[in-house]
Amino acid sequence: MAAVPDSGGDDLSRPGAQRYAADWARAVRRLGFVPLSADETERLLLVHTVRLGQAVLARQFSATPAEDVGRALVEAHLTEPRVLDWSVHALGHRFLAQVLPDRVHPADAADRVAALQGALAAGFARALRNRTFSQQERIARSAWQARDAVERALRDSEARFRAVFTGAAIGIGIAGIDGQIIEVNQSFADMLGYTVDELRQINVASLFHADDAAGMWELYQELIEGKHDHARVEKRYHRKDGTIVWTDLAVSLIRHDDGRPRFTVAMIEDITERYELQQRLRFQALHDPLTGLPNRTLFFETLGRCFERAGPEQRIAVCFLDLDGFKAVNDSLGHDLGDRLLITIARRLADCVAGQGHLVARMGGDEFVILVDGGDGLDDAVGVAELALAAVSAPVLVGDQQLAVSASVGVVECPAAETSASELMKAADTTLYWAKAEGRGRWAVYDPERSAADIARSALAAGLPAALDRDEFVVHYQPIVSLLDGEMLAVEALVRWRHPELGLVGPDRFIGLAEETGLIVRLGEWVLGQACRDARAWHREFPAQSLVVSVNLAARQADDPAIVDTVAGALSRTGLPAELLQLELTESAVMGSAGEPLRSLRRLAGLGVRLAIDDFGTGYSNLAYLRRLPIHCLKLAGPFVEGIRAEEPDAPVDHRDERIVDALVRLAHALELSVTAEAVETGAQAERLRALRCDTGQGRWFGAPMPAEEITARLRGGEAAA
Which residues make beta-bridge pairs with 706? 477
Residue 365 CB neighbours (<10 A) = 13
Residue 698 CB neighbours (<10 A) = 24
**Which residue, 566, 545, 666, is CA-closest to 609?**
566
Query: Which pLDDT score, from 0 to 100, does residue 577 have?
Result: 95
Residue 334 CB neighbours (<10 A) = 11
Chunked in runs of 10, what are the mean pLDDT values of the chain (722 residues)? 40 75 82 82 83 82 84 82 80 75 64 82 83 82 80 74 72 84 86 87 80 69 76 83 85 81 84 83 86 90 87 86 86 84 89 83 91 79 89 83 86 87 90 88 86 76 85 94 93 93 86 84 93 96 93 87 92 95 84 60 91 78 68 88 63 68 90 92 92 94 94 82 52
Residue 622 CB neighbours (<10 A) = 13
pLDDT digits (tens, 9 = 90+) for 199-222: 888 888 777 777 775 666 677 777
- Phi, psi (5° rounding) for residue 365? 60, -125
C-beta separation of 537 from 716 below 8 A:
no
For the CA atoms of 293, 299, 303, 304, what is the dihedral angle to 10 degrees? Answer: -140
Query: Which pLDDT score, from 0 to 100, does residue 693 have?
Result: 95
Rounded Cα gap, residues 113 and 63, in angstroms: 9
Residue 309 CB neighbours (<10 A) = 8
**Which residue, 590, 637, 630, 628, is CA-closest to 611?**
630
Q: Which amino acid is at 469?
A: D
- Return all residues near 595 (Cβ < 8 A) that are at least 6 apart: none
Rounded Cα gap, residues 200 and 194, in angstroms: 10
Which residues make beta-bridge pairs with 265? 174, 252
Rounded Cα gap, residues 678 and 691, in angstroms: 16
C-alpha dihedral sign at 143, 147, 152, 156: positive
pLDDT digits (tens, 9 = 90+) for 144-190: 887 887 778 777 777 776 777 776 778 888 888 888 888 888 888 88
- Return all residues near 361 (Cβ < 8 A) that are at least 6 apart: 288, 293, 294, 295, 296, 298, 299, 368, 369, 370, 371
- Return all residues near 607 (Cβ < 8 A) that are at least 6 apart: 564, 567, 568, 571, 578
Rounded Cα gap, residues 186 and 168, in angstroms: 9
DSSP-derived pairing of the beta strands 401-403 and 610-616: unpaired
- Phi, psi (5° rounding) for residue 693? 65, 30
**Which residue, 348, 288, 357, is CA-closest to 321?**
348
Rounded Cα gap, residues 710 and 708, in angstroms: 5
